[in-house]
A and B are shown apart, each in its own frame.
Chain A
Amino acid sequence: MAAVTSPNQRLKISLKYLLLILVALVFVFPIVFMVVSSFKPDLQLLRDTSSFAAFLPVGDISLDNYFAAFRRAPVGLFVFNSIFVTTLTVLGSLFLCSMAAFAFVFLEFRGKEIVLSIIIATLIVPFETIAVPMLMVVNSLPWIGGSGITWGWLNTYHVQIVPFLADALTIFLFVQFFRDLPKELIEAARLDGASWFQIYSMVIVPIAGPVFATAAILKFLAMYNQYLWPLMVTQSEQFRPVMVGLQYFFQLNTAWGEVMAYLSMITLPVLAFYLFLQRAFITSIASTGIKG
């Protein structure tokens, strides 16, 4: 950073930082409100919303809402379900979508441009429009599991995982990244005797860290925040994820303190995951120009 020399420059920089802080606060305030409110009883929580105290841990502060939340719903199970489903989907999706993109970019086969165009085109189809047909499809599919062949996937983990293993956005992200890689790398590896899978795993994957991080975060958020699909396909509490669990807290009299406690708990995995991949994610967003 260049040294600040004149008062005029200093003022400019101060104003810039002030603006940045204000913008940051707009994003931080709701999170602060959520966390702070989760420690307050409902009455105080509602009273504080009319003042700045809503963002301060003042008054009757306790962990009661957290205990109550655990009593009201199987929070641990919901969090486990979400993390389990999300993790498997993210891993599977990174593997499948990166391989698909590799094929679209580096292999020659008839009709690949048309197939890719069709896949990309599905980006504009909202999930709500295909949810019901998809439900009918998964409800008539077989599955081989511990109890042999069963028909219909409802009320399982795999109904929440398999349909989301491949998606247009993730394939598109990988395609864009792979297209920018020098083709000579692939050709050098081919001459070195590598098979296509060896080229993928030993040459491409190790240098595609940023796009893997980006795709992982975007997929993680999409999966972790899923509501409509799990609501449609899981009737039993045993398989429900955190977002569906939220409805346990909106009964006749909504317990806002417990809602905030629950939301605080389910936000933690997302923040932890984001912080883990933050550096690679920002590098990738900056280099690909893809919005997060």
Chain B
Amino acid sequence: MAGLSLQNLQKTYGKVEVIKGVNLEIEHGEFVVFVGPSGCGKSTLLRMIAGLEDITGGELSIGGQVVNAMQPRDRGVAMVFQSYALYPHMTVYDNVGFGLRIKKTPKDERDAKIREAARILQMEHLLDRKPAQLSGGQRQRVAIGRAIVRQPEVFLFDEPLSNLDASLRMDMRMEISKLHQDLGATMIYVTHDQVEAMTLADKIVVLNAGVVQQVGSPLELYNRPANLFVAGFIGSPKMNFIAVQVDEIKPGMVTVSGPDIRAVSIPVVTDGLTVGTALTLGTRPHQMLTADQGAITATVMLVEHLGNETIVSLRLPSGKAIVAGLDGDFPVAVGDTLHLTPEANKAVLFDEDGRSLPIKS
């Protein structure tokens, strides 16, 4: 059983604090995705788990054992790199079997493991080739094969699909997901692509500036973001934010309005709220309904027809832009005026510090 426990994990380079006290529990067999913008520390955190970066402070346990001072090879982890990191002078067979050769695994056993990995990844026909003779997708497969043969307790993926084209990325995403189901191993996956995060993860860890913003299932993060950062980062197109203030408070319900929006009632826990409190209303583009008496009136600036849906960029009276996701056949043109209403039970209110208000349970 190889769960992971990160206790107040810190990393500094000189005086620059890159990872600021991360606490995280990862269960055995979980698929966890670290996601965040460039420079948020997600790759550094992964490399700290791999043992490629020293841990400045805190404690990292794998399978119940503290591994802070342990060499990468002794941690029972295997890593797939963004650049694949295949040994250019070795064949695919030798690349996949390198770790076993180092471990002095008997030749027959080694051969069987390499061929089994090749079978799983459907690359038996590539075993005699050198990396230079492979396509990007094939190289990535070899890199994954190299990880599989070592039978690690934890797989680490560092943006493994970012060098692939869109369609190949989708295929590989499905393969990685299937691999996780087949092997049942713990997997930690770093990406800045929130679609990858949403589709692959059992659990997403959103990081920003070295701080964990929220940990949860993809739908938890989508529906109940903990703060403005998570709300803006998860979901595509991004969540719309509209400035509002409290007009009326009833038990479990608050009515808000603002320069760009007429009164709407949102079900939240109202503790601590007073009439006049400034808040931010968050509503997803696909959770806005068109209605003749809609709370929001906005002018269409741009229309993107995607077939199954139409993405409309709109300008509010204050000049702020918002985005709405409408049906693919919704009749709309640039210059039109639309009336929209956020779905009240899916909208999120954020306080002045950017934290979301809890919903009424």
Contact = CB atoms under 8 A, between A and B. Distances in A.
Interface of A: 182, 184-185, 187-194, 198, 202-203, 206-207
Contact of B73 (A193, A203, A206, A207): A193
Given A192-B99, A192-B146, A198-B102, A187 B89 contact: no
Nearest to B89: A206
A182 B83 contact: yes
Contact of B87 (A187, A190, A191, A203): A203
Interface stretch (B10-18, B74-82, B241-249, B331-339): B74-82
B81 A190 contact: no
A12 B120 CA distance: 59
Which of A185, A188, A190, A207 has the most chain B CB within a 10 Å cutoff?
A188
Nearest to B82: A184
A193 B103 contact: yes
6 contacts: A187-B79, A187-B81, A187-B85, A191-B73, A191-B79, A207-B88
A187 B85 CA distance: 8
A202 B84 CA distance: 18
B102 A184 contact: no
B150 A190 contact: no
B72 A190 contact: yes
Interface in B110-156: 146, 150
Contacts of B84: 184
Nearest to B71: A190
B52 interface: yes
Nearest to A203: B87
A191 B89 contact: no
4 interchain residue pairs of minimum CB distance: A184-B85, A192-B99, A193-B73, A188-B85
User: Most chain-A CB neighbours within 10 Å: which of B50, B71, B85, B103?
Assistant: B85
Interface of B: 50-52, 71-73, 77-79, 81-89, 98-99, 102-103, 146, 150
A185 B85 contact: yes
A193 B81 contact: no
Contact of A193 (B87, B88, B99): B99
A184 B98 contact: no
B102 A192 contact: yes
Given A184-B85, A203-B87, A189 B98 contact: yes
Nearest to A186: B85
A262 to B, nearest CB: 43
A189 B72 CA distance: 10
Contacts of A184: 81-85
A190 B71 CA distance: 8
B85 A182 contact: yes
A85 B83 CA distance: 43
B303 to A, nearest CB: 44
A192 B86 CA distance: 12
Contacts of B88: 207
Nearest to B103: A193
Of listed B73, B146, B150, residue having the most chain A CB within 10 A = B73
B146 A187 contact: no
A190 B52 CA distance: 8
Given A190-B52, A190-B71, 20 more contacts: A187-B50, A187-B72, A187-B81, A188-B81, A188-B85, A190-B51, A190-B72, A191-B52, A191-B72, A191-B77, A191-B79, A191-B99, A192-B102, A193-B73, A193-B99, A193-B103, A194-B102, A202-B98, A206-B89, A207-B88
A192 B150 contact: yes
Contacts of A191: 50-52, 72-73, 77-79, 99
Contacts of A193: 73, 99, 102-103
A187 B98 contact: no
Contacts of B78: 191
B110 to A, nearest CB: 13
Contacts of B146: 188, 192
A145 B116 CA distance: 55
Contacts of A203: 87
B6 to A, nearest CB: 19
Q: Which of A184, A191, A193 has the most B CB atoms < 10 Å from its CB?
A: A191
Contacts of B103: 193
Contacts of A190: 51-52, 71-73
A173 B103 CA distance: 33
A255 to B, nearest CB: 52
A54 B130 CA distance: 54
A140 B52 CA distance: 46
A188 B79 contact: yes
A77 B87 CA distance: 45
Nearest to B84: A184
A33 B103 CA distance: 60
Nearest to A199: B102
A203 to B, nearest CB: 6
A157 to B, nearest CB: 35
Nearest to B80: A188
Contacts of A202: 98
Contacts of B77: 191
A92 B98 CA distance: 28
Contact of A207 (B71, B79, B89): B89
A88 B317 CA distance: 83
Nearest to A184: B85
B114 to A, nearest CB: 13
A113 to B, nearest CB: 14
A112 B205 CA distance: 37
A198 B73 CA distance: 13
B347 to A, nearest CB: 44
B73 A192 contact: yes
Contacts of B98: 189, 192, 194, 202
A193 B105 CA distance: 12
B160 to A, nearest CB: 12
